[in-house]
Amino acid sequence: MHRHALSPDHLHPRALAIRPYDRGLHDLGNGVFAYLQPNGSWGWSNAGLIVDGDQALLVDTLFDLRLTQSMLEEMRRADRRAQNIGVLVNTHANPDHTNGNSLLTNARVITSRRTAEEMSHEKPEMLAGVMRKAKTSIDPASRYLVECFGAFDFEGIPPSSATETFTGRRSLMVGSKRVELIELGAAHTGGDVVIHVPADRIVYTGDLLFVGGHPVMWAGPVENWIAACEYLLSLDIDYVVPGHGPITDKRGVRAVRDYLVLVREHAREAFRANVPLEQAARQIARELDRTGYADWSDGERILVTVAVIFRQLSDERGPIDVGTLFGAMAKFRG
Least separation in angstroms between residue 204's CB and Zn ion is: 12
Least separation in angstroms between residue 279's CB and Zn ion is: 28
203: helix, coil or strand?
strand
Least separation in angstroms between residue 277's CB and Zn ion is: 23
The count of C-alpha atoms lying within 13 angstroms of the C-alpha of 173, restricted to the half-sphere facing its C-beta, is 4
Closer of 51 and 148 to Zn ion (Cβ): 148
Closer of 7 and 91 to Zn ion (Cβ): 91
- d(CA 252, CA 209) in angstroms, rounded, equals 8
Residue 128: CB atoms within 10 A of its CB come to 16
Closer of 55 and 91 to Zn ion (Cβ): 91
Least separation in angstroms between residue 34's CB and Zn ion is: 14
Going by the DSSP 8-state scheme, the letter that residue 295 receives in this structure is: T
Contact present, 55 and 106 (Cβ < 8 Å): no
Least separation in angstroms between residue 60's CB and Zn ion is: 9
Query: For residues 96-123, b (16+ Cβ closer than 10 Å) or e, as one string?
Result: bbbbbbbbbeebebbbbbbbbebbeebe
Closer of 46 and 55 to Zn ion (Cβ): 46
Query: First CA to last CA across the chain, in angstroms?
Result: 23
Paired sense of beta strands 193-197 and 177-183, if any: antiparallel
- Dihedral angle of Cα 99, 101, 103, 105, to the nearest 10 degrees: -160
Least separation in angstroms between residue 273's CB and Zn ion is: 32
Contact present, 209 and 240 (Cβ < 8 Å): yes
Closer of 217 and 277 to Zn ion (Cβ): 217
322: helix, coil or strand?
helix
Closer of 63 and 266 to Zn ion (Cβ): 63
Least separation in angstroms between residue 188's CB and Zn ion is: 8
Closer of 280 and 325 to Zn ion (Cβ): 325
Closer of 216 and 275 to Zn ion (Cβ): 216
Least separation in angstroms between residue 91's CB and Zn ion is: 9
Full DSSP string of 115-149: HHHHHHH--HHHHHHHHHHHHT--SHHHHHHHHHH
Going by the DSSP 8-state scheme, the letter that residue 248 receives in this structure is: B
Q: Which residues bind Zn ion (CB under 5 A)?
A: 45, 94, 96, 207, 243
